[in-house]
Amino acid sequence: MKPSGILRVRDLYSVLTQNESISASNTLTQPSNHRLVSKNMREKREERKLVVLNSKRGNLRLVKKSTKRRRNRPTFGGGERNCVKKAGGERTCVKKLMQTAENEGATASLSGGEQVAGQGEIYTRRAKSLKEKVRTMIENVSDQPLDQLELIDTLQRLGLAYHFVIEIEKIIEKVYINKNNVTWKKENLYALSLEFRLLRQHGYNVPQEVFNSFIDGKMGNFKVCFCEDTKAMLSLHEASYYGLEGESIMEEAWQFTTKHLKNLESTYMDSNLAMEVKHALELPLHWRALRIEARWFIDIYERRKDMNEILLEFAKLDFNIVQGIYQQELKDLSSWWKRCGLGETLSFARDRLVASFLWGMGTAFEPQFGYCRSIITKSFVLITVIDDVYDVYGTLKNLKLFTVLLIAILFLLSQVSNTLDLLLYHKEQAAESEYTSQSNAFPPPNLKVKVMIKP
């Protein structure tokens, strides 16, 4: 955000609104003398124009009259115009100025006044400091499994878990080893559902029968007494999406929670919890893109009573830093797309560069996987172009020839790949024999190359 620019516009807005109020008071106090009132209003308007024209503190200016478009000057609606043409017009135009300045500044940061770009080193150092504090927080978390699982869940939903993969795996493994200790979750459906979801998410085999104690033996359904516990219903609903095919208990859990969460939507509950319920019913956490989910959850977490300021600050800072990396990658991909010239040559094809990049970001959001995102984006863009060639542009005859050409290229590539595989294999065998004959020892493991030769 640009605080100096916003202050300039607000100063201008205060001047105009103050003069407007004076004009309104003159109109009310002298209703009988219409000509005098009109003259005073015209004088006030001229004073306002002079105030605006003489304000040279910033790059946001209003012009009395303009018939030419000048460069490097902000415009409204495609050109400059007289923003003081009628009473009340000043406020409308200044509000647009304020909204423009605020929107330009707000897109850079979650915290409302910070810009990662230009101060990268400062934010990087701050992020490293916060990262160590969070690491200490994880190491010093209480021995209660529920506290540990809630911290892991919060880190994941804030988009911070990739910083602490080793620490999280250690906690998850410890919880799995001690899973038979049911004293802390015996009557706590929320805790059991959270444990079930996180353990299955990290690849541990947890049977669905752990929920048997919460099922009515006669009816085979979950006990109705848990319906009023919104947190438990929400946690069980998210856990149900980790069920495997043929698991009847998890299917029943999904039907049970979906029905009662929809009923709870119409009742009074905490606003944050209501937003989480609506969010979960729209799309479960298991199906969402993690980075987009992190952006939504940061706002929710900020309004929680048990919010941790260190986690919140680190989440905002990390989101902005990673977003800056995404923006730079998107710039590079845009340059690549322009150099290709496909958008101009094949004008009928869709320009899906940003959408394709979002696919790559959803697949691998971690900042170190920029090359992976680049390959996914380029592949999706080219696939989209080929799809449009088939659907929009090509005739049946031309498309048949084009298909034959693609098959021939793929066959040629497979033959070249086989040749290279054989060459690499024989080269490795020769290097191994030479190494063995010279050193009279077995070659190191990293010298061996495993090659798969296609028939």
Asked if residues 447 and 427 have their Cβ atoms less than 8 Å apart, the reply is no
Mean pLDDT of 338-345: 88
pLDDT at 415: 76
At 179, the pLDDT band (50, 70, 90 cuts) reads confident
CA 453-454-455 angle, 5° bins: 115
Ranges of H-type helices in 32-82 = 34-54
pLDDT tens digits, 323-341 = 999 999 999 999 999 998 8
Which has more pLDDT, 51 or 315? 315
Rg value, the chain, Cα? 32
Specify the DSSP element, H or E, that contains 132.
helix 120-139
Q: Angle of helix 165-177 relative to helix 145-157, nearest 10 degrees?
A: 150
Rounded to a whole number of angstroms, the distance between the first and last alpha carbons of the chain is: 60
pLDDT at 41: 55
Q: 445: which 2 tokens?
A: 């493991």
Mean pLDDT of 66-92: 37
CA 335-337-338 angle, 5° bins: 65
Q: 402: which 2 tokens?
A: 């084009």
Q: How far apart are CA 426 and CA 449, in angstroms?
A: 10
Report whether pLDDT(450) > 70: no
Mean pLDDT of 34-46: 51
What SS3 class is residue 145? helix
Report whether pLDDT(130) > 60: yes
At 97, the pLDDT band (50, 70, 90 cuts) reads very low
Report whether pLDDT(81) > 80: no
Which has more pLDDT, 416 or 64? 416
Q: Worst-scoring range by mean pLDDT, 37-41, 98-102, 113-117, 283-287?
A: 98-102
- Its pTM stands at 0.65
pLDDT at 104: 37
298 phi/psi in degrees, rounded to 5:
-60, -40
Write down the residue that tokens 């989910």 correspond to: 293
Mean pLDDT of 225-251: 91
At 275, the pLDDT band (50, 70, 90 cuts) reads very high
- Would you state the torsion angle of the CA atoms of residues 315, 316, 319, 323, taken in this order, to the nearest 10 degrees? -170
Report whether pLDDT(10) > 50: no
pLDDT at 43: 58
Report whether pLDDT(220) > 90: no
The residue among 268, 265, 242 whose CA lies nearest residue 254 is: 242
Report whether pLDDT(435) > 70: no
pLDDT tens digits, 352-389 = 999 999 999 999 999 999 999 999 999 999 999 999 99
pLDDT at 420: 73
Share of the chain above pLDDT 70, in %: 67
Q: How far apart are CA 308 and CA 13, in angstroms?
A: 38
pLDDT at 272: 86
Mean pLDDT of the chain: 74
Which has more pLDDT, 353 or 43? 353
Q: 8: which 2 tokens?
A: 């300039």
Which has more pLDDT, 243 or 228? 243
pLDDT at 434: 65
Report whether pLDDT(180) > 60: yes
pLDDT at 178: 86
Count of residues making up the chain: 455
